[in-house]
Amino acid sequence: MRWYGPHDVVSLNDIRQAGCAGVVTALHHIPAGDVWPLNDIKERIRAIEEHGMTWTVIESLPVSDDIKRQSGNWQEHIANYKQSIRNLAACGLKVITYNFMPVLDWIRTDISYPMKDGALALYFNRADFVAFDVFQLKRPGAEKDYSTEEIKEAEKQFHETDPAHHEKVFRNCLLGLPGSTEGFTPEMVLEELNKYGHINAAQLKQHLFEFLREVIPVCEETGMVMAIHPDDPPYPVLGLPRIMSCEQDLADLADAVPSVANGLCFCTGSFGARPDNDIVTMLRKFGDRVHFLHLRNTKRDTEGNFYEAAHLEGDTDMYEVMKEVVKLQSRRNISLPMRPDHGHQMLDDLHKTTFPGYSAIGRLKGLAELRGLELGISRGL
Protein backbone atom coordinates (compact mmCIF):
# COMPACT_ATOMS: atom_id res chain seq x y z
CA MET A 1 0.00 0.00 0.00
CA ARG A 2 0.97 3.60 -0.44
CA TRP A 3 1.95 5.46 2.72
CA TYR A 4 2.26 9.22 2.91
CA GLY A 5 4.68 9.28 5.80
CA PRO A 6 4.46 9.98 9.54
CA HIS A 7 1.48 12.32 9.17
CA ASP A 8 -0.66 9.78 7.28
CA VAL A 9 -3.78 8.82 9.26
CA VAL A 10 -3.25 5.29 7.91
CA SER A 11 -0.31 4.07 9.98
CA LEU A 12 2.42 1.58 9.13
CA ASN A 13 0.83 -0.71 11.69
CA ASP A 14 -2.46 -0.53 9.78
CA ILE A 15 -0.69 -1.37 6.53
CA ARG A 16 1.13 -4.31 8.10
CA GLN A 17 -2.14 -5.69 9.48
CA ALA A 18 -3.64 -5.46 5.99
CA GLY A 19 -1.17 -8.16 4.93
CA CYS A 20 1.25 -6.00 2.97
CA ALA A 21 4.85 -7.11 2.58
CA GLY A 22 6.04 -3.75 1.31
CA VAL A 23 5.30 -0.05 1.46
CA VAL A 24 5.23 2.45 -1.38
CA THR A 25 6.19 5.90 -0.19
CA ALA A 26 8.21 9.05 -0.84
CA LEU A 27 9.90 11.90 0.99
CA HIS A 28 7.07 14.37 0.50
CA HIS A 29 8.71 17.03 2.65
CA ILE A 30 11.52 17.57 0.12
CA PRO A 31 10.64 20.05 -2.66
CA ALA A 32 10.73 18.90 -6.28
CA GLY A 33 14.16 19.61 -7.74
CA ASP A 34 16.10 19.14 -4.48
CA VAL A 35 18.36 16.19 -3.65
CA TRP A 36 16.97 13.45 -1.41
CA PRO A 37 19.58 13.21 1.40
CA LEU A 38 20.93 9.81 2.45
CA ASN A 39 19.95 10.34 6.09
CA ASP A 40 16.30 11.05 5.21
CA ILE A 41 16.15 7.95 3.01
CA LYS A 42 17.70 5.78 5.72
CA GLU A 43 15.31 7.10 8.36
CA ARG A 44 12.30 6.23 6.18
CA ILE A 45 13.69 2.73 5.59
CA ARG A 46 14.25 2.25 9.31
CA ALA A 47 10.67 3.26 10.17
CA ILE A 48 9.23 0.83 7.62
CA GLU A 49 11.48 -2.09 8.55
CA GLU A 50 10.59 -1.62 12.24
CA HIS A 51 7.07 -2.67 11.21
CA GLY A 52 8.25 -5.79 9.40
CA MET A 53 7.98 -4.45 5.86
CA THR A 54 10.30 -3.21 3.13
CA TRP A 55 10.50 -0.09 0.99
CA THR A 56 11.50 -0.93 -2.57
CA VAL A 57 9.28 1.36 -4.68
CA ILE A 58 9.54 5.14 -4.51
CA GLU A 59 6.29 6.90 -5.34
CA SER A 60 7.21 9.42 -6.41
CA LEU A 61 10.56 11.10 -6.98
CA PRO A 62 8.93 14.18 -8.54
CA VAL A 63 10.15 15.76 -11.75
CA SER A 64 10.03 19.54 -11.36
CA ASP A 65 8.06 21.73 -13.73
CA ASP A 66 11.36 23.44 -14.56
CA ILE A 67 12.55 20.12 -16.02
CA LYS A 68 9.27 19.57 -17.85
CA ARG A 69 9.46 23.06 -19.39
CA GLN A 70 13.26 23.15 -19.69
CA SER A 71 13.22 26.53 -17.97
CA GLY A 72 14.63 28.12 -14.85
CA ASN A 73 16.89 25.75 -12.88
CA TRP A 74 16.09 22.67 -14.99
CA GLN A 75 19.71 21.60 -15.54
CA GLU A 76 20.49 21.88 -11.83
CA HIS A 77 17.33 19.89 -11.07
CA ILE A 78 18.42 17.10 -13.43
CA ALA A 79 21.81 16.97 -11.71
CA ASN A 80 20.01 16.76 -8.35
CA TYR A 81 17.73 14.02 -9.69
CA LYS A 82 20.77 11.97 -10.67
CA GLN A 83 22.22 12.36 -7.21
CA SER A 84 18.92 11.31 -5.64
CA ILE A 85 18.99 8.17 -7.81
CA ARG A 86 22.49 7.37 -6.55
CA ASN A 87 21.46 7.97 -2.94
CA LEU A 88 18.40 5.75 -3.27
CA ALA A 89 20.44 3.00 -4.93
CA ALA A 90 23.05 3.18 -2.17
CA CYS A 91 20.26 2.42 0.31
CA GLY A 92 19.06 -0.62 -1.63
CA LEU A 93 15.97 0.77 -3.33
CA LYS A 94 15.14 -0.38 -6.84
CA VAL A 95 12.13 1.30 -8.49
CA ILE A 96 11.43 5.02 -8.98
CA THR A 97 7.92 6.05 -9.96
CA TYR A 98 7.42 9.47 -11.50
CA ASN A 99 5.13 11.28 -13.93
CA PHE A 100 5.45 13.98 -16.57
CA MET A 101 2.07 15.68 -16.11
CA PRO A 102 2.39 19.47 -16.14
CA VAL A 103 1.26 21.50 -13.10
CA LEU A 104 -1.43 19.11 -11.77
CA ASP A 105 -0.89 15.39 -11.16
CA TRP A 106 -4.54 14.38 -11.29
CA ILE A 107 -7.97 15.99 -11.39
CA ARG A 108 -11.32 14.87 -9.98
CA THR A 109 -14.45 17.00 -9.68
CA ASP A 110 -15.79 15.03 -6.69
CA ILE A 111 -13.73 13.29 -4.00
CA SER A 112 -16.78 11.97 -2.11
CA TYR A 113 -19.10 10.64 -4.81
CA PRO A 114 -21.79 8.46 -3.17
CA MET A 115 -22.03 4.86 -4.37
CA LYS A 116 -25.22 2.79 -4.12
CA ASP A 117 -23.88 0.94 -1.07
CA GLY A 118 -23.14 4.16 0.82
CA ALA A 119 -19.37 4.16 0.23
CA LEU A 120 -17.70 7.23 -1.28
CA ALA A 121 -15.58 7.26 -4.44
CA LEU A 122 -13.56 9.65 -6.59
CA TYR A 123 -15.45 10.97 -9.62
CA PHE A 124 -14.75 13.02 -12.75
CA ASN A 125 -17.77 14.79 -14.22
CA ARG A 126 -17.00 16.26 -17.62
CA ALA A 127 -19.66 19.00 -17.55
CA ASP A 128 -18.61 20.09 -14.06
CA PHE A 129 -15.00 20.23 -15.18
CA VAL A 130 -15.79 22.30 -18.28
CA ALA A 131 -17.86 24.66 -16.12
CA PHE A 132 -14.97 24.94 -13.66
CA ASP A 133 -12.50 25.73 -16.44
CA VAL A 134 -14.66 28.22 -18.37
CA PHE A 135 -16.86 29.86 -15.74
CA GLN A 136 -14.92 29.55 -12.48
CA LEU A 137 -11.21 29.42 -13.24
CA LYS A 138 -11.87 31.56 -16.35
CA ARG A 139 -8.78 30.29 -18.09
CA PRO A 140 -8.06 32.52 -21.10
CA GLY A 141 -9.03 30.72 -24.30
CA ALA A 142 -10.65 27.79 -22.47
CA GLU A 143 -13.73 27.86 -24.75
CA LYS A 144 -11.58 26.81 -27.72
CA ASP A 145 -10.82 23.44 -26.08
CA TYR A 146 -14.45 22.30 -25.97
CA SER A 147 -17.22 21.72 -28.45
CA THR A 148 -20.26 24.00 -28.61
CA GLU A 149 -22.34 21.17 -27.17
CA GLU A 150 -19.96 20.74 -24.22
CA ILE A 151 -20.05 24.46 -23.44
CA LYS A 152 -23.86 24.48 -23.56
CA GLU A 153 -24.13 21.43 -21.29
CA ALA A 154 -21.60 22.90 -18.84
CA GLU A 155 -23.42 26.23 -18.75
CA LYS A 156 -26.76 24.48 -18.21
CA GLN A 157 -25.34 22.37 -15.39
CA PHE A 158 -23.60 25.35 -13.84
CA HIS A 159 -26.83 27.37 -13.69
CA GLU A 160 -28.92 24.45 -12.43
CA THR A 161 -26.67 23.60 -9.47
CA ASP A 162 -26.32 25.59 -6.27
CA PRO A 163 -23.30 27.66 -5.16
CA ALA A 164 -22.27 24.99 -2.63
CA HIS A 165 -21.83 22.52 -5.49
CA HIS A 166 -19.79 25.05 -7.47
CA GLU A 167 -17.55 25.63 -4.45
CA LYS A 168 -17.02 21.89 -3.95
CA VAL A 169 -16.08 21.33 -7.59
CA PHE A 170 -13.79 24.35 -7.53
CA ARG A 171 -12.01 23.13 -4.40
CA ASN A 172 -11.66 19.56 -5.69
CA CYS A 173 -10.25 20.56 -9.07
CA LEU A 174 -7.53 22.59 -7.37
CA LEU A 175 -6.39 19.86 -4.96
CA GLY A 176 -3.30 19.32 -7.04
CA LEU A 177 -1.46 16.28 -5.75
CA PRO A 178 -2.40 12.76 -4.61
CA GLY A 179 -2.23 12.69 -0.84
CA SER A 180 -2.79 16.42 -0.63
CA THR A 181 -5.51 18.14 1.40
CA GLU A 182 -4.32 21.63 0.43
CA GLY A 183 -5.18 23.02 -2.98
CA PHE A 184 -3.66 25.54 -5.31
CA THR A 185 -5.17 28.99 -5.62
CA PRO A 186 -6.66 30.03 -8.98
CA GLU A 187 -3.93 32.64 -9.32
CA MET A 188 -1.23 30.01 -8.81
CA VAL A 189 -2.78 27.67 -11.37
CA LEU A 190 -3.29 30.37 -14.02
CA GLU A 191 0.28 31.55 -13.54
CA GLU A 192 1.62 28.01 -13.94
CA LEU A 193 -0.60 27.29 -16.93
CA ASN A 194 0.68 30.43 -18.61
CA LYS A 195 4.25 29.13 -18.31
CA TYR A 196 3.25 26.18 -20.53
CA GLY A 197 1.52 28.36 -23.13
CA HIS A 198 4.29 27.83 -25.71
CA ILE A 199 4.72 24.07 -25.14
CA ASN A 200 2.70 21.58 -27.20
CA ALA A 201 2.49 17.81 -26.78
CA ALA A 202 5.34 17.06 -29.19
CA GLN A 203 7.68 19.44 -27.39
CA LEU A 204 6.73 18.18 -23.94
CA LYS A 205 7.30 14.60 -25.09
CA GLN A 206 10.72 15.60 -26.40
CA HIS A 207 11.54 17.13 -23.02
CA LEU A 208 10.60 13.82 -21.38
CA PHE A 209 12.89 11.89 -23.71
CA GLU A 210 15.78 14.29 -23.11
CA PHE A 211 15.28 13.99 -19.35
CA LEU A 212 15.36 10.19 -19.63
CA ARG A 213 18.51 10.23 -21.77
CA GLU A 214 20.17 12.05 -18.87
CA VAL A 215 18.95 9.88 -15.99
CA ILE A 216 18.62 6.38 -17.46
CA PRO A 217 22.42 5.89 -17.73
CA VAL A 218 22.61 6.60 -13.99
CA CYS A 219 19.90 4.00 -13.40
CA GLU A 220 21.79 1.44 -15.47
CA GLU A 221 24.96 2.23 -13.55
CA THR A 222 23.28 1.82 -10.15
CA GLY A 223 20.75 -0.95 -10.84
CA MET A 224 17.71 1.31 -10.54
CA VAL A 225 14.72 1.48 -12.89
CA MET A 226 12.34 4.31 -13.75
CA ALA A 227 8.58 3.69 -13.94
CA ILE A 228 6.48 6.45 -15.49
CA HIS A 229 2.88 6.79 -14.35
CA PRO A 230 0.34 7.52 -17.11
CA ASP A 231 -1.68 10.70 -17.33
CA ASP A 232 -4.75 10.97 -15.13
CA PRO A 233 -7.16 11.57 -16.80
CA PRO A 234 -5.51 10.31 -20.01
CA TYR A 235 -6.29 13.32 -22.21
CA PRO A 236 -5.49 17.06 -22.25
CA VAL A 237 -6.85 19.16 -19.39
CA LEU A 238 -6.80 22.93 -18.81
CA GLY A 239 -5.04 23.38 -22.13
CA LEU A 240 -2.09 21.32 -20.92
CA PRO A 241 -0.63 18.63 -23.18
CA ARG A 242 -0.78 15.00 -22.04
CA ILE A 243 1.85 12.67 -23.45
CA MET A 244 1.50 9.34 -21.63
CA SER A 245 -2.08 8.32 -22.23
CA CYS A 246 -2.30 5.55 -24.83
CA GLU A 247 -0.51 2.66 -26.54
CA GLN A 248 1.24 4.92 -29.06
CA ASP A 249 2.70 7.01 -26.23
CA LEU A 250 4.18 3.86 -24.68
CA ALA A 251 5.66 2.86 -28.05
CA ASP A 252 7.19 6.33 -28.46
CA LEU A 253 8.70 6.08 -24.98
CA ALA A 254 10.28 2.70 -25.69
CA ASP A 255 11.61 3.79 -29.08
CA ALA A 256 13.15 7.01 -27.73
CA VAL A 257 15.06 5.34 -24.87
CA PRO A 258 15.24 1.57 -25.52
CA SER A 259 16.81 0.61 -22.16
CA VAL A 260 14.51 -1.57 -20.03
CA ALA A 261 15.46 0.72 -17.13
CA ASN A 262 13.12 3.13 -18.90
CA GLY A 263 9.93 1.46 -17.75
CA LEU A 264 6.33 1.79 -16.69
CA CYS A 265 4.18 2.15 -13.64
CA PHE A 266 1.26 0.45 -15.36
CA CYS A 267 -1.93 1.98 -13.95
CA THR A 268 -5.05 0.15 -15.09
CA GLY A 269 -7.24 2.94 -13.75
CA SER A 270 -5.59 5.78 -15.65
CA PHE A 271 -5.42 3.87 -18.93
CA GLY A 272 -8.90 2.46 -18.32
CA ALA A 273 -10.54 5.90 -18.19
CA ARG A 274 -9.99 6.09 -21.95
CA PRO A 275 -12.23 3.75 -24.00
CA ASP A 276 -9.79 3.24 -26.88
CA ASN A 277 -7.12 1.71 -24.61
CA ASP A 278 -6.98 -2.10 -24.71
CA ILE A 279 -5.47 -2.67 -21.26
CA VAL A 280 -4.60 -6.36 -21.64
CA THR A 281 -3.03 -5.89 -25.08
CA MET A 282 -0.96 -2.96 -23.81
CA LEU A 283 0.18 -4.96 -20.80
CA ARG A 284 1.12 -7.89 -23.02
CA LYS A 285 2.97 -5.73 -25.54
CA PHE A 286 4.97 -3.68 -23.02
CA GLY A 287 5.19 -6.24 -20.21
CA ASP A 288 8.99 -6.33 -20.19
CA ARG A 289 8.99 -2.64 -19.24
CA VAL A 290 6.49 -2.93 -16.40
CA HIS A 291 8.29 -2.39 -13.08
CA PHE A 292 5.29 -1.52 -10.90
CA LEU A 293 1.51 -1.91 -11.12
CA HIS A 294 -1.40 0.18 -9.88
CA LEU A 295 -4.47 -2.03 -9.98
CA ARG A 296 -7.73 -0.10 -9.87
CA ASN A 297 -10.87 0.13 -11.94
CA THR A 298 -12.99 2.88 -13.39
CA LYS A 299 -16.50 3.00 -14.82
CA ARG A 300 -17.04 5.31 -17.79
CA ASP A 301 -20.08 6.62 -19.60
CA THR A 302 -20.52 8.10 -23.06
CA GLU A 303 -20.46 11.68 -21.75
CA GLY A 304 -16.82 11.51 -20.62
CA ASN A 305 -17.62 10.96 -16.94
CA PHE A 306 -16.01 8.22 -14.87
CA TYR A 307 -15.85 7.11 -11.25
CA GLU A 308 -13.51 4.83 -9.34
CA ALA A 309 -15.29 1.48 -9.28
CA ALA A 310 -14.62 -1.43 -6.93
CA HIS A 311 -11.40 -3.18 -7.89
CA LEU A 312 -13.06 -6.19 -9.51
CA GLU A 313 -15.82 -4.15 -11.17
CA GLY A 314 -15.76 -1.34 -13.71
CA ASP A 315 -14.78 -1.38 -17.38
CA THR A 316 -11.44 -3.16 -17.02
CA ASP A 317 -11.59 -6.95 -16.82
CA MET A 318 -9.37 -7.38 -13.76
CA TYR A 319 -9.39 -11.16 -14.15
CA GLU A 320 -7.79 -10.89 -17.59
CA VAL A 321 -5.37 -8.24 -16.33
CA MET A 322 -4.28 -10.38 -13.38
CA LYS A 323 -3.94 -13.45 -15.58
CA GLU A 324 -1.57 -11.49 -17.82
CA VAL A 325 0.35 -10.24 -14.76
CA VAL A 326 0.76 -13.80 -13.43
CA LYS A 327 2.04 -14.98 -16.82
CA LEU A 328 4.34 -11.97 -17.05
CA GLN A 329 5.85 -12.67 -13.63
CA SER A 330 6.40 -16.31 -14.55
CA ARG A 331 8.03 -15.46 -17.86
CA ARG A 332 10.32 -12.85 -16.30
CA ASN A 333 10.87 -14.95 -13.16
CA ILE A 334 10.17 -12.00 -10.85
CA SER A 335 7.59 -10.83 -8.36
CA LEU A 336 6.36 -7.45 -9.55
CA PRO A 337 5.43 -4.91 -6.89
CA MET A 338 1.77 -3.99 -7.21
CA ARG A 339 -0.77 -2.23 -5.07
CA PRO A 340 -4.49 -1.51 -4.88
CA ASP A 341 -5.28 2.09 -5.69
CA HIS A 342 -8.01 4.62 -4.91
CA GLY A 343 -10.14 2.53 -2.60
CA HIS A 344 -13.63 3.60 -1.62
CA GLN A 345 -14.10 5.45 1.66
CA MET A 346 -16.32 3.07 3.63
CA LEU A 347 -17.30 1.67 7.02
CA ASP A 348 -15.51 3.37 9.92
CA ASP A 349 -13.41 5.45 7.50
CA LEU A 350 -16.53 7.43 6.60
CA HIS A 351 -16.06 9.17 9.94
CA LYS A 352 -12.39 10.01 9.36
CA THR A 353 -10.55 12.65 7.39
CA THR A 354 -8.26 10.80 4.99
CA PHE A 355 -6.32 11.62 1.84
CA PRO A 356 -8.71 11.39 -1.14
CA GLY A 357 -8.66 7.82 -2.46
CA TYR A 358 -6.33 6.61 0.29
CA SER A 359 -8.48 5.59 3.23
CA ALA A 360 -7.51 2.26 4.79
CA ILE A 361 -10.55 -0.02 4.60
CA GLY A 362 -11.42 0.49 0.94
CA ARG A 363 -7.85 -0.26 -0.08
CA LEU A 364 -7.79 -3.26 2.27
CA LYS A 365 -10.89 -4.57 0.49
CA GLY A 366 -9.22 -4.07 -2.88
CA LEU A 367 -6.01 -5.70 -1.66
CA ALA A 368 -7.87 -8.76 -0.38
CA GLU A 369 -9.76 -9.12 -3.66
CA LEU A 370 -6.64 -8.74 -5.78
CA ARG A 371 -4.57 -11.14 -3.66
CA GLY A 372 -7.31 -13.73 -3.85
CA LEU A 373 -7.62 -13.27 -7.58
CA GLU A 374 -3.85 -13.64 -8.04
CA LEU A 375 -3.70 -16.76 -5.89
CA GLY A 376 -6.61 -18.39 -7.71
CA ILE A 377 -5.14 -17.68 -11.14
CA SER A 378 -1.64 -18.79 -10.08
CA ARG A 379 -2.97 -22.10 -8.74
CA GLY A 380 -5.11 -22.59 -11.83
CA LEU A 381 -2.19 -22.06 -14.19
Active site residue 294: yes
Alpha-carbon gap, residue 368 to 339, rounded angstroms: 11
Catalytic residue among 77, 311, 342, 344: 342
Which of the residues 207, 291, 294, 311 is marked catalytic? Answer: 294
Catalytic residue among 8, 341, 344, 349: 341
348 is an active site residue? no
288 is catalytic: no
Identify the active-site residue in 113, 231, 267, 307. Answer: 267
Choose, from 66, 105, 110, 229, the residue flagged as catalytic: 229
Cα gap 260→266, rounded to integer Å = 14
**How many Cα neighbours within 13 Å face the side chain of 372?**
8
> Is 358 a known active-site residue?
yes
Would residue 351 show up in a list of annotated catalytic residues for this protein?
A: no
Q: What gap in Å lies between CA 238 and CA 189, rounded to an integer?
A: 10
Residue 165 annotated to the active site = no
Please state, as a whole number, how many other Cβ atoms lie within 10 Å of the Cβ of residue 63: 23
Full 3-state SS string of the chain: CECCCCCCCCCHHHHHHCCCCEEEECCCCCCCCCCCCHHHHHHHHHHHHCCCCEEEEEECCCCCHHHHHCCCCHHHHHHHHHHHHHHHHHCCCCEEEECCCCCCCCCCCEEEEECCCCCEEEEECHHHHHHHHHHHHCCCCHHHHCCHHHHHHHHHHHHHCCHHHHHHHHHHHCCCCCCCCCCCCHHHHHHHHHHCCCCCHHHHHHHHHHHHHHHHHHHHHHCCEEEECCCCCCCCECCECCCCCCHHHHHHHHHHCCCCCEEEEEEHHHHHCCCCCCHHHHHHHCHHHEEEEEECEEEECCCCCEEEECCCCCCCCHHHHHHHHHHHHHHHCCCCCEEECCCCECHHHHHCCCCCCCCHHHHHHHHHHHHHHHHHHHHHC
- C-alpha dihedral, 276 to 236 to 231 to 377, nearest 10°: -20
The residues annotated as belonging to the active site are 229, 267, 294, 341-342, 358
